[in-house]
Structure 1
Amino acid sequence: MARAENKTEAGGTAHLVAALAKALREQQDLSQEQLGRMIGYTASAVSAMETCAQPASDQMLAKLEETIGGGLGVFEKARTLMRLDKYPAQFKNYVLLEQRALTLSTYVTFVVHGLFQTEDYARALIGGGYPPLKDERVEELVEGRLARRALFDREPTALIELVVEESALRRPIGSRAVMHGQLLHLAECAKRRNVTLQVLPMDCGTHGEHFGCRGDMTLVETPQHEHLAYLEPQDESVLVSDPAKVTTYSQRYAKIRSQALGPRESLGLIERLAGEIQ
């Protein structure tokens, strides 16, 4: 929805896209109404985009590239940059690492990891957080979260590992139907050749050892073969590059993984839980 405050909240990419789209439209002697018809939007939607009252959506950028982009690829490139603008400030630096990672090894405790979330699960989770967000902002964050899934099919192939607490799979988010869909999606992700998904069972601490008791973590290997650790406690962003500290996190992750069910057992548990909440 177009809002006056969007003009001041919009990021630099949105303003650049607006100026470029207007310049190319005028260069091609098109009115806002004419361009709107070409890309399937109203003249008011084009006007809102050019003033940043409603920055261009991913779909609008694709249409602008097709119609007035002139083969330059600028609107296509802007699609990636606009998605970055929609992420929370503390997450923007990490998501660039995630998109380019060679390997990604993650342990999560309370909820399903963002890369593996369905649209409905993400919407329920983001919309139900605190402080409450406007509906438009919730949709922006959902769109940005779903865009991260491109990592699964990226070339060169990324190796993705996830260890998730069983309690996160049993915790209903949104509704039973939402959770059912989420578990089925997790099962499909687990069958990908570049994904290893393991469940840390509820009873892993029965004998006094629970190596994941200090919370979530993500280990990243960059294209330059650097090894980093990423933590996100209470909406803060902590990127650890010190080799000694990263080694400690890597060792802890290895111990967590050793306590988890194997991939086949984990898939069986996920499918069984999905069947229980139909």
Structure 2
Amino acid sequence: MTQPKKKALSPAQQYLAEVLRLLRTARGLSQTELGSLMNYTGAAVSAVETCAKPATDEFLESAEGALEAGGVIAAAAKYVRLERYPEHFRGFVQLEQTALSVSTYCTQLIDGLLQTEGYARALFGCTFPPLDREEIEELTAARMERKALFDRKPVCCITSIHEEGALRRQIGGREVMLHQYEHLLECAERPNVVLQVMPMDRGEHAGLPGPMTVIETAELTTLVYTEVEGQSTLVSRPEEVGVLARRYAMIGRQALRPEDSVKLIEQLRDEL
């Protein structure tokens, strides 16, 4: 039987493999000796250096310390993590990581920042064309890494408005959704998070044109990100941003208040 073709590692992973080899040889260490310092086998070090396997975050953190790399490996690892995201999403992720505020309006699915691992995995598992297991796990891990934003200093203010239909859509089955509702309720208790729901009985409202994310960058610039069918747009023209930001503000006024939104999420949880 023909074996499936192995996916080539990304340019960042290849670069990181070369950096690891150069730093190791500069220290006069064999692969086995470096592996011993890192609590890995020499074969594991060889697999990374030859690009036979991608380096995990744990491996890179251990290598940074064992080689006393002065932040070189850690800096390269940042770009390795970035490449785990779909290409059209990478620019947004970089903005999100340093944003002062992130405000989303979600119409079909729960906000990626607020998804549990089980919800995200089930979501990637139903993608078409289908993804293989490795790709699903890679995308799930990348989505979970974005959650660092919740505890980042300086604090990022996160507002997320969901259509009630997005919350009612059963992704992954009952247990996954129960965990997801509980996670949303826990997030709502954070002082830097505001959750709102646009109820289904709210007929005409400002959000009907579609989902969006409004970002206030570290440079105090407001941008708007939209995405449809894997095609993304980052709106930066002040007059266009102004229209979308005002629309988002109206969506927030038309949605349920945060306290009423929490009650609705509790109701959805209890109905399962």
Q: Within the alignment, does 1:222 sit opposite 2:222 as a pair?
A: no
**Whole-Å separation in 2 of the counterparts to 1:147 and 1:181:** 18
**Residues matched between the structures, number:** 269
1:273 Cα deviation from its structure 2 partner? 1.5
Alignment match, 2:228: 233
1:247 is matched with which residue: 242, 251, 255?
242
**Whole-Å separation in 2 of the counterparts to 1:49 and 1:30:** 15
Alignment match, 1:104: 102
1:257 counterpart SS class? helix
CA contact (8 A) 2:215 2:222 kept: yes
**Matched ranges for 1:27-66 at <5 A:** 27-66=26-65
Q: Within the alignment, does 1:11 sit opposite 2:6 as a pair?
A: no
CA contact (8 A) 1:14 1:56 kept: yes
**Whole-Å separation in 1 of the counterparts to 2:187 and 2:172:** 21
Counting aligned pairs with the same residue, the percent is 47
Alignment match, 2:19: 20
Unaligned runs of 5+ in 1: none
- Cα deviations by residue, 1:43-66 (Å, 9 ceiling, x for unpaired): 332222112221211111111112
**Whole-Å separation in 1 of the counterparts to 2:137 and 2:36:** 25
**Whole-Å separation in 1 of the counterparts to 2:95 and 2:239:** 20
1:4 Cα deviation from its structure 2 partner? 6.8
**Whole-Å separation in 1 of the counterparts to 2:232 and 2:9:** 22
Alignment match, 1:261: 256
CA contact (8 A) 1:227 1:241 kept: yes
1:138 is matched with which residue: 118, 126, 136?
136
2:76 is matched with which residue: 68, 75, 78?
78
CA contact (8 A) 2:100 2:218 kept: yes
Unaligned runs of 5+ in 2: none
The alignment's TM-score, normalised by the length of structure 1, stands at 0.92
RMSD: 1.6
1:185 counterpart SS class? helix
Query: Partner letter of residue 99 of structure 1?
Result: Q
1:269 Cα deviation from its structure 2 partner? 1.4
**Whole-Å separation in 1 of the counterparts to 2:71 and 2:270:** 46
1:71 Cα deviation from its structure 2 partner? 4.8
- Cα deviations by residue, 1:60-87 (Å, 9 ceiling, x for unpaired): 111111211x150122223322110111
1:133 counterpart SS class? coil
Query: Partner letter of residue 30 of structure 2?
Result: S
**Whole-Å separation in 2 of the counterparts to 1:196 and 1:260:** 12
2:172 counterpart SS class? coil
**Whole-Å separation in 2 of the counterparts to 1:117 and 1:51:** 35
Query: Which range moves more in the overlay, 265-274 or 38-47?
Result: 38-47
CA contact (8 A) 1:5 1:53 kept: no
CA contact (8 A) 1:160 1:195 kept: yes
Alignment match, 1:178: 176
CA contact (8 A) 2:23 2:69 kept: no
**Whole-Å separation in 1 of the counterparts to 2:175 and 2:136:** 20
